[in-house]
Amino acid sequence: MSALTLDPQVYPDGAEPVIRALCAREIGARPTWIPLGDLPPHASAPRIDGTRARQFLNGSLCLPCSTGLTNDDLEMVAAAVRDELDRARNAR
């Protein structure tokens, strides 16, 4: 699994705009995992605050991963990630 965590000072809108832009480029980026305490089966379970887990969720994204990715695929994904991170950073 390859995941990126974005600096909230540089990317105050979090990972969602980057995920949307990568998906529009047909790159299967996705959010990281939802904290267990936020899932319906655990709604009544005892929990701690969870602020850090939600910050991680909002500011992180998973990138495509597969043993089937070629070097060309990886280079294309890396270039697209750089482009979209630059675009998101400069959109501020």
CATH of the domain at 32: 3.90.1150.10
76 belongs to a structural domain: yes
- Please, is 18 exposed, middle or buried when counting C-beta atoms within 10 Å of its C-beta (0-12, 13-18, 19+)? buried
Res 92 pLDDT > 80: no
71 belongs to a structural domain: yes
Q: How far is CA 25 from CA 14, 20, 22, in A?
A: 19, 9, 5
54 belongs to a structural domain: yes
44 belongs to a structural domain: no
What range does the domain containing 13 cover?
2-37+50-90
64 belongs to a structural domain: yes
**What is the domain count for the chain?**
1
65 belongs to a structural domain: yes
For 30-86, what is each residue's pLDDT tens digit? Answer: 999 888 888 999 989 988 888 888 899 999 999 998 999 999 999 999 999 999 999
The pTM of the full predicted model, rounded to 2 decimals, is 0.84
